Amino acid sequence: MSLRHALLGALADQPRSGYELLKHFEQSLAYAWPASHSQIYPELGRLLSEQLIEQTAAGARGSKTYALTDTGLAEVRRWLRETEPDRRVRNDALLRMFFLWLLEPDEAREHLERERAYWQGILAKLREIEAKPPGQTRKERAFRLSLEGGIRMVESRAHWLDWAVDQRI
Protein backbone atom coordinates (compact mmCIF):
# COMPACT_ATOMS: atom_id res chain seq x y z
CA MET A 1 0.00 0.00 0.00
CA SER A 2 2.51 2.58 -1.12
CA LEU A 3 -0.14 4.95 -2.44
CA ARG A 4 -1.46 5.80 0.98
CA HIS A 5 2.04 6.46 2.28
CA ALA A 6 2.88 8.52 -0.75
CA LEU A 7 -0.17 10.65 0.02
CA LEU A 8 0.71 10.91 3.69
CA GLY A 9 4.29 11.84 2.78
CA ALA A 10 3.12 14.52 0.37
CA LEU A 11 0.89 15.96 3.10
CA ALA A 12 3.74 15.87 5.62
CA ASP A 13 5.38 18.43 3.35
CA GLN A 14 2.37 20.78 3.43
CA PRO A 15 -1.45 20.69 3.45
CA ARG A 16 -2.84 20.10 -0.02
CA SER A 17 -6.13 19.51 -1.77
CA GLY A 18 -6.88 16.33 -3.72
CA TYR A 19 -6.31 18.15 -6.95
CA GLU A 20 -3.01 19.58 -5.75
CA LEU A 21 -1.94 16.10 -4.72
CA LEU A 22 -2.88 14.85 -8.17
CA LYS A 23 -0.70 17.52 -9.81
CA HIS A 24 2.09 16.78 -7.37
CA PHE A 25 1.93 13.12 -8.40
CA GLU A 26 2.03 14.06 -12.07
CA GLN A 27 5.01 16.37 -11.66
CA SER A 28 7.17 15.03 -8.88
CA LEU A 29 6.19 11.51 -7.95
CA ALA A 30 5.26 10.25 -11.44
CA TYR A 31 8.55 8.40 -11.98
CA ALA A 32 8.42 6.76 -8.59
CA TRP A 33 4.69 6.10 -8.12
CA PRO A 34 2.21 7.16 -10.80
CA ALA A 35 -1.38 7.50 -9.56
CA SER A 36 -4.60 8.73 -11.12
CA HIS A 37 -7.39 10.83 -9.62
CA SER A 38 -9.70 7.80 -9.44
CA GLN A 39 -7.27 6.20 -7.05
CA ILE A 40 -6.32 9.30 -5.08
CA TYR A 41 -9.79 10.58 -4.14
CA PRO A 42 -11.15 7.34 -2.65
CA GLU A 43 -7.87 6.80 -0.78
CA LEU A 44 -8.11 10.29 0.71
CA GLY A 45 -11.59 9.35 1.89
CA ARG A 46 -10.22 6.30 3.64
CA LEU A 47 -7.33 8.21 5.20
CA LEU A 48 -9.83 10.77 6.47
CA SER A 49 -12.08 8.15 8.03
CA GLU A 50 -9.06 6.59 9.72
CA GLN A 51 -8.06 10.03 10.98
CA LEU A 52 -4.62 9.88 9.42
CA ILE A 53 -5.47 13.17 7.72
CA GLU A 54 -8.00 15.90 8.45
CA GLN A 55 -9.79 18.43 6.30
CA THR A 56 -8.55 21.88 7.17
CA ALA A 57 -10.21 24.04 4.52
CA ALA A 58 -12.74 24.11 1.73
CA GLY A 59 -12.13 26.21 -1.38
CA ALA A 60 -13.71 27.10 -4.69
CA ARG A 61 -15.35 24.40 -6.84
CA GLY A 62 -15.74 22.04 -3.94
CA SER A 63 -12.01 21.72 -3.31
CA LYS A 64 -10.99 20.29 0.03
CA THR A 65 -7.65 20.85 1.68
CA TYR A 66 -6.23 18.12 3.86
CA ALA A 67 -3.49 18.16 6.47
CA LEU A 68 -1.61 15.33 8.12
CA THR A 69 -2.61 14.48 11.71
CA ASP A 70 -0.15 13.35 14.36
CA THR A 71 -1.34 9.78 13.86
CA GLY A 72 -0.77 10.21 10.13
CA LEU A 73 2.78 11.45 10.63
CA ALA A 74 3.48 8.55 12.97
CA GLU A 75 2.17 6.16 10.31
CA VAL A 76 4.48 7.45 7.52
CA ARG A 77 7.42 7.23 9.85
CA ARG A 78 6.47 3.72 10.90
CA TRP A 79 6.21 2.76 7.22
CA LEU A 80 9.66 4.17 6.50
CA ARG A 81 11.27 2.59 9.52
CA GLU A 82 9.56 -0.74 9.91
CA THR A 83 8.45 -1.98 6.52
CA GLU A 84 10.75 -3.49 3.91
CA PRO A 85 10.72 -1.63 0.56
CA ASP A 86 9.16 -3.66 -2.23
CA ARG A 87 12.13 -3.74 -4.59
CA ARG A 88 10.41 -5.58 -7.41
CA VAL A 89 10.33 -3.61 -10.63
CA ARG A 90 7.85 -4.14 -13.44
CA ASN A 91 9.28 -2.80 -16.64
CA ASP A 92 7.26 -3.48 -19.75
CA ALA A 93 9.82 -1.74 -21.98
CA LEU A 94 12.67 -3.92 -20.68
CA LEU A 95 10.54 -7.06 -20.94
CA ARG A 96 10.02 -6.40 -24.64
CA MET A 97 13.78 -6.35 -25.22
CA PHE A 98 13.96 -10.05 -24.34
CA PHE A 99 11.73 -10.78 -27.29
CA LEU A 100 13.19 -8.46 -29.92
CA TRP A 101 14.58 -11.43 -31.80
CA LEU A 102 10.98 -12.21 -32.79
CA LEU A 103 10.95 -9.10 -34.97
CA GLU A 104 12.82 -8.43 -38.20
CA PRO A 105 16.21 -6.79 -37.49
CA ASP A 106 14.98 -3.48 -38.99
CA GLU A 107 11.91 -3.46 -36.81
CA ALA A 108 13.98 -4.27 -33.74
CA ARG A 109 16.28 -1.36 -34.48
CA GLU A 110 13.35 1.03 -34.98
CA HIS A 111 11.94 -0.11 -31.68
CA LEU A 112 15.20 0.66 -29.90
CA GLU A 113 15.37 4.07 -31.56
CA ARG A 114 11.88 4.95 -30.40
CA GLU A 115 12.72 3.95 -26.85
CA ARG A 116 15.88 6.01 -26.96
CA ALA A 117 13.99 9.08 -28.15
CA TYR A 118 11.41 8.66 -25.41
CA TRP A 119 13.95 8.42 -22.60
CA GLN A 120 16.05 11.25 -23.96
CA GLY A 121 12.93 13.41 -23.78
CA ILE A 122 12.29 12.46 -20.15
CA LEU A 123 15.94 13.09 -19.32
CA ALA A 124 15.72 16.60 -20.73
CA LYS A 125 12.66 17.31 -18.57
CA LEU A 126 14.35 16.07 -15.43
CA ARG A 127 17.47 18.12 -16.17
CA GLU A 128 15.28 21.22 -16.41
CA ILE A 129 13.93 20.57 -12.94
CA GLU A 130 17.47 19.94 -11.72
CA ALA A 131 18.65 23.28 -13.14
CA LYS A 132 16.50 25.29 -10.71
CA PRO A 133 18.49 26.50 -7.72
CA PRO A 134 18.08 24.14 -4.76
CA GLY A 135 16.90 25.18 -1.30
CA GLN A 136 18.69 24.08 1.84
CA THR A 137 15.99 22.51 3.99
CA ARG A 138 16.18 18.77 4.75
CA LYS A 139 13.00 18.32 2.73
CA GLU A 140 14.62 19.94 -0.26
CA ARG A 141 17.78 17.87 0.13
CA ALA A 142 15.72 14.67 0.22
CA PHE A 143 13.99 15.81 -2.95
CA ARG A 144 17.35 16.46 -4.64
CA LEU A 145 18.50 12.99 -3.62
CA SER A 146 15.45 11.45 -5.27
CA LEU A 147 15.75 13.67 -8.31
CA GLU A 148 19.37 12.68 -8.73
CA GLY A 149 18.32 9.03 -8.45
CA GLY A 150 15.66 9.52 -11.10
CA ILE A 151 18.08 11.28 -13.42
CA ARG A 152 20.72 8.61 -13.05
CA MET A 153 18.23 5.83 -13.79
CA VAL A 154 16.82 7.54 -16.85
CA GLU A 155 20.31 8.46 -18.00
CA SER A 156 21.44 4.85 -17.76
CA ARG A 157 18.44 3.79 -19.84
CA ALA A 158 19.23 6.41 -22.48
CA HIS A 159 22.92 5.47 -22.62
CA TRP A 160 22.09 1.78 -22.77
CA LEU A 161 19.74 2.39 -25.71
CA ASP A 162 22.43 4.48 -27.40
CA TRP A 163 24.67 1.45 -27.18
CA ALA A 164 21.89 -0.98 -28.07
CA VAL A 165 20.89 0.60 -31.39
CA ASP A 166 24.44 0.00 -32.60
CA GLN A 167 24.34 -3.69 -31.73
CA ARG A 168 23.52 -6.28 -34.35
CA ILE A 169 20.23 -7.87 -33.39
Residue 155's closest CA among 111, 121, 132?
121
Should residue 160 be labelled a site residue for its own copies when binding is judged by CB under 8 A?
yes
What is d(CA 117, CA 20) in angstroms, rounded to the nearest whole number?
Answer: 30
Residue 35's closest CA among 15, 58, 10?
10
Residues 132-151 that bind its own copies (CB under 8 A): 137-139, 141-143, 145-146, 148-150
Which residues have a Cβ under 8 Å from the Cβ of 20 and sit 6 or more positions away? Answer: 65
Considering the complex, state which of residue 14 and residue 63 has its C-beta at the smaller distance from DNA. Answer: 63
Should residue 83 be labelled a site residue for DNA when binding is judged by CB under 7 A?
no
Task: Give the nearest distance from C-beta 58 to its own copies in angstroms.
Answer: 27
CB 68 within 8 A of CB 11: yes
Residues constituting the chain: 169
Residue 64's binding partner out of its own copies, DNA, none, with CB under 5 to 8 Å set by partner kind: DNA
Cα-flanking dihedrals φ and ψ of residue 97, to 5°?
-60, -35
Residues near its own copies (CB under 8 A)? 2, 5-6, 9, 12, 28-34, 73, 76-77, 80-81, 85-103, 105, 107-108, 111, 115, 118, 137-139, 141-143, 145-146, 148-150, 152-153, 155-157, 159-160, 163-164, 167-169
Residues near DNA (CB under 7 A)? 1-3, 17-20, 22, 34-39, 41-42, 44-45, 59-64, 88, 90
